[in-house]
Structure 1
């Protein structure tokens, strides 16, 4: 009973901490402005199943796709066994589902093959990051912590899968010693570890119990580490892809207040609806972004696919779409911490613009949408970039001189070019 009580306390504590952290994340996301992403539910479900569950956008790079699929499916499916572990821990049973007979043997065998695939995938990922040094895993935004975070997760998964296989191996050897004719479970991978284990039954029980506790506590710690890690995308990839922007790429949003003003200028009889002017044109800080932009920031996997295809970054410009998302998340977390401390957010003299994201980065963007196309979980850095540009132009009137020249030409000539409207058709002369 002591073991069951300890297990119940650990489980309830872990669930309470997960709930606490989840509430903070939801609170931070709700700092954003409302936006409607409830249309076309059928299309949204298909998008989520294809992109998040089916990993369709990962397939553009076949080797990482296969490795990630092994790790992703292996880790998720293996933890289905968590249900049995929780029941065993609370009820004091051992392999509570063993009554399923042949089906149970098949499940354990599949879990072991998946555990091996997770182990191999994580080892290869560690080699790619720390020995091969794949270029997209580095950059100015990839400081020591993001790189350490990625390695910690990979090492944790290796440790959890090793504990899982060692637990099964010790249990299997005990069963062979006690009742060799009636084995519960099938152990194709862990059976290879039998020569490494001691023969003493008491030692085997210690190993089996130690690995059991390490595995379950490790998974619970892992769940509570996610909110502080880029691996939060394991959970948020599904809602993020469901709430994807279904409009054609490159179709920008118009501000209603501006649209009504333009219509009134073109048609003096047009009566714009009575509505409050927006508090701010464009985006200066995270509270000017939408909740979907903030969900994007939390979902960012820091994989660098966006930055690796960004033409501005490739040609040496300062812009990195991955940094845009990481900076947005960092600022959101900073604001959230101030709310936790003071009960509400008060101006702290900082903003997303300038303090986190520089103007040079924003104006380097070509708005080509390569980053949104490359993202494996449908994150849209371009939306944040364009709305911050909107603030610079409409609130501060600080567009680059080349754009100001274009604006003046449009205002005076009705075209981006410097010649008058009357001269537009001069090219026909002599034809």
Structure 2
């Protein structure tokens, strides 16, 4: 019977790892569809961002209470994985509490800490469910989240609560069996939370306790492996991608826009026409801005997969606050949805086949893009260093420079810059007339 259980566990674990790895490779392929961008500079500053933003959750602590609750959930997810490692090894090797001989008296202390974290995770998730479904904070009831995104958040929170309760029930049954001297349940010492709960199961028979403990063990590990494979389809993929996203976050000053070399070259030729005759001629016609996800950079696409859908960006966006259609959160969700669609296209056809759709217009409208004030509030607020603004600017650049699509007010300004080298409708010769008139 033990061999059968070990074999079943190995098959289950192998299948879960295979499916997760397969999806992870697809996501990596999708991200690398983006344009190349070198973000390998200043590694010391980048690792500092990982420590402060990803591990330390620096931006979350602008709201201390929510930050602490989120930190409980986050720390629980990371630290309790050590307990998951033991369960996996026990499942493969057919052992029970494999680390007890190795850790000795330290073992019950660690499990005790894990149990405290489990209680805090349960508390944090319960409060987050209340905030989303009873208090209904504005950023959680936005139409951006209608349908699957809203359900996704609730499913994850409920699953985390269930996993923590299974863990605590498993430990309580285990502690009870230890107290009864069951041969399979080696003495570990008292666990901090489950040790206090053993009277609950005092009236149960050994057979029922064994069934309860084993059932919780299996449900817990199956739940964890299922959760692992749910992550790539969920907004909670940020649990993994927040770390590389923080590392590759831009180090440029907030508000500084990256000049396109092709545009800069054209402006230089306009200002110095004599250079045009000797300018190198290229057969490659430059593309300005982005129309579809493949025109964005790989960092933009990593941003899309890293989005937590928390809505802090949209809550801080002045355009969104004043009732405009722009929602930075929706920009990121639309980018990810389109990228997933392109990925499925490649998966089905071997290479991308034109589907007569693009990110611009089919997902993100011109009205959304033009509502943006480029104030950087969304970038400033994002806890995982995402830049919806960079995507907005690139899509808007395509509209203006590739399609000549711009509001009348913009067109007049562009024309003045092109003809008069300034936004105003005055020639260079007339610009200093105001000074001459004052002197007269």
- 430 and 269 in structure 1: CA distance in 2 versus 1, 3 angstrom threshold: closer
- 2:177 maps to 1:174: yes
Aligned residue runs from structure 1 range 260-271, under 5 A: 260-267=265-272, 268-269=274-275, 271=278
8 Å CA contact retained: 1:105, 1:186: yes
CA shift for structure 1 position 420: 3.9
Unaligned stretches of 5+ residues in structure 1? none
- 2:92 maps to 1:90: yes
SS of 1:141 mapped into structure 2 = helix
Deviations 1:234-273 (A, max 9, x none): 0000011111111112221222222222223333247445
- 2:364 maps to 1:360: no
Deviations 1:35-59 (A, max 9, x none): 1111111111111111011100111
CA distance in 2, matches of 1:55, 1:89: 34
Q: Partner of 2:309 in structure 1?
A: 302
8 Å CA contact retained: 2:262, 2:286: no
Deviations 1:91-139 (A, max 9, x none): 1111011112111111011001000000000000000000000111122
SS of 2:432 mapped into structure 1 = helix
CA distance in 1, matches of 2:199, 2:148: 39
8 Å CA contact retained: 1:51, 1:376: yes
**Could you tell me which of 169, 194, 201 is aligned with 2:198?**
194
The TM-score with structure 1 as length reference comes to 0.96
Q: Partner of 1:257 in structure 2?
A: 262
**Could you tell me which of 126, 130, 154 is aligned with 2:129?**
126
Q: CA RMSD in A?
A: 1.7
Q: Partner of 2:222 in structure 1?
A: 217
The TM-score with structure 2 as length reference comes to 0.94
Unaligned stretches of 5+ residues in structure 2? none
8 Å CA contact retained: 1:136, 1:303: yes
8 Å CA contact retained: 1:44, 1:244: yes
8 Å CA contact retained: 1:32, 1:288: yes
CA distance in 2, matches of 1:272, 1:423: 31
SS of 1:95 mapped into structure 2 = coil
CA distance in 1, matches of 2:302, 2:283: 27
SS of 2:142 mapped into structure 1 = coil
- 167 and 276 in structure 1: CA distance in 2 versus 1, 3 angstrom threshold: farther
Aligned residue runs from structure 1 range 1-400, under 5 A: 1-99=3-101, 100-178=103-181, 183-197=187-201, 198-267=203-272, 268-269=274-275, 271-273=278-280, 275-278=282-285, 280-400=287-407
CA distance in 2, matches of 1:217, 1:264: 64
8 Å CA contact retained: 1:241, 1:377: yes
8 Å CA contact retained: 2:79, 2:114: yes
CA distance in 1, matches of 2:280, 2:315: 45
8 Å CA contact retained: 2:109, 2:191: no
How many residue pairs align between the two structures?
Answer: 430
CA shift for structure 1 position 295: 0.4
